[in-house]
Structure 1
Amino acid sequence: MLEYRNGGGRFYQEPALLETDLREVRRYMGMRGGEESPEVDALAERAVVELIEKAAPAGIFRIVPLVTEADGTIRAEGMRFQSRSLWRNLAGCERLVLMAATLGAGVDRLLRQYSRLEVSRAVALQAAAAAMLEEFCDCFQEELGNILKREGLYLRPRFSPGYGDFSLEHQKELVQSLQTAKNIGLTLTGGCMMAPTKSVTAVIGAGREAQPCHRKGCEACGRTDCAFRRE
């Protein structure tokens, strides 16, 4: 369910309604497309069931005016980003969506519990939580796209701090602008790591020209050497 007013809002979804892809869970567990393992499949399925009981997916967003400059500078709502990779992603855009999403503290408690008791279950839960978070963000972005289409705007791929040369430090500005601690219980450590850990911040450009929009992170990310990159 998306709540929208005055250029911003929140998004919630029941975890049981998220179609968490078991193929994605397997991939995060290190399995490749053609590999088969009944044991891994059973761990993945069980992990998704446990997460459905503990997760509380929640998101927050704002839609703000955007200015991109020729030198790669990006300005939005008092924020200034210097990133060529993000600048290319935002070419032709006039609005910027600031977003943050989390699966909630209950997932972290579950992960800590199994990291002490059963490592194989903990690995499966980490993978399932990553896949569930990505699916939640996809649903979130789809709802945002529906809102912006009413204004004749179309979304680009979402882009998170840490992609390409978009510094992880920019998470501080996104968290502050969105007031994530107050709105969805998301905070940052001194090293810009998020708590709860299964959380994400991102920006999404919106422009007048419809373009193919890959919602998934791999298509927007330049890290071709990543062990979890989608083939």
Structure 2
Amino acid sequence: MNVKDIPQKEVFRYLGYHNTIPSETIQSVVIDCISELLNHCSMHHTYKIFDCTIQHTKIIIDNYVIIESKNLSKNLNECNQVILFAATLGVQADILLKKYSHIDMSKAVIMQAAAAAVIEEYCDQCQMEIEKTLAKQKLFLRPRFSPGYGDFDLIHQKDFIALLDCPRKIGLTLTNSFLLAPSKSVTAVMGISKTNKHCHIKGCEACTKTNCIFRRGDDVI
């Protein structure tokens, strides 16, 4: 990836700019932060396909993980397989965030937003590659859906970490409060379907938290 691949409007959204355009100074710092992240971070991802069964609002993955979620069951309707996915920017992103929190708090805030945009774009690109692979088998991918979206409990992060062997494969672990470490990381489930249903890649369109201050909308620049 390069700087042009990262939508600056996504960074602005994370910074709280919705109907206004940030100053040229802020825009310049955003570009600097994106560049620094891309130059220093070592991005990694992993994924695996599992069988799944949908029983009303209950999703059973690999006859092992049981998830109770109305939102996710709707997302996976008519799917009998899912992809569990994990990606991370690595510890370098956390090192940069810690560095600027000590020497330049304003830049640290922008770096946080830039890192969020970079990991999302990386996930999007990984997802598109997976879609290309599935297309050869005449299969289609459903939206990326992460623990914490809607009623999909964050506790299921532990299932993703275990089933994907994330600590060994990509250096991704979990805190006692089910937060990912390194912090700029993502886990998600994506349904595999034989029918091509309209699929938003981005997470906001799949999430029911309409009052989220970071939610994308038509008013976002």
Q: TM-score, normalised by structure 1?
A: 0.90
**1:191-220 CA deviation, whole Å, 9 max, x = no partner?**
001110000100000111101110001001
Does structure 1 retain, via aligned residues, the 8 Å contact 2:59–2:73?
A: yes
The answer to whether 1:159 aligns with 2:145 is yes
Distance across 2 between alignment mates of 1:210 and 1:29: 35
Gaps of 5+ in 1: 1-14
Query: What letter is aligned with 2:93?
Result: V
Match of 2:129 in 1: 143
Match of 2:68 in 1: 82
1:100-111 superposed matches below 5 A = 100-111=86-97
Distance across 2 between alignment mates of 1:41 and 1:148: 38
Match of 2:80 in 1: 94
Q: CA RMSD in A?
A: 1.2
Task: Give the superposition deviation at 1:35.
Answer: 2.5
Match of 1:37 in 2: 23
Match of 2:98 in 1: 112
Match of 1:7 in 2: none
Distance across 2 between alignment mates of 1:101 and 1:75: 23
Count of equivalent residues: 216
Gaps of 5+ in 2: none
Query: What is the percent sequence identity of the aligned residues?
Result: 41
1:215-226 superposed matches below 5 A = 215-226=201-212
Alignment partner of 2:5: what SS?
coil
Alignment partner of 1:133: what SS?
helix
Alignment partner of 1:63: what SS?
strand
Deviating beyond 6 angstroms after TM superposition, the runs of 4 or more aligned structure 1 residues are: none
Task: Give the superposition deviation at 1:88.
Answer: 0.3
Task: Give the superposition deviation at 1:34.
Answer: 3.6
The answer to whether 1:205 aligns with 2:191 is yes
Alignment partner of 1:93: what SS?
coil
Distance across 2 between alignment mates of 1:18 and 1:163: 28
Match of 2:154 in 1: 168
Query: What letter is aligned with 2:104?
Result: E
**1:136-189 CA deviation, whole Å, 9 max, x = no partner?**
000111111111122221111010001111100000000000010000000000
Larger relative contact order (Cα-Cα within 8 Å, sequence gap ≥ 6): 2
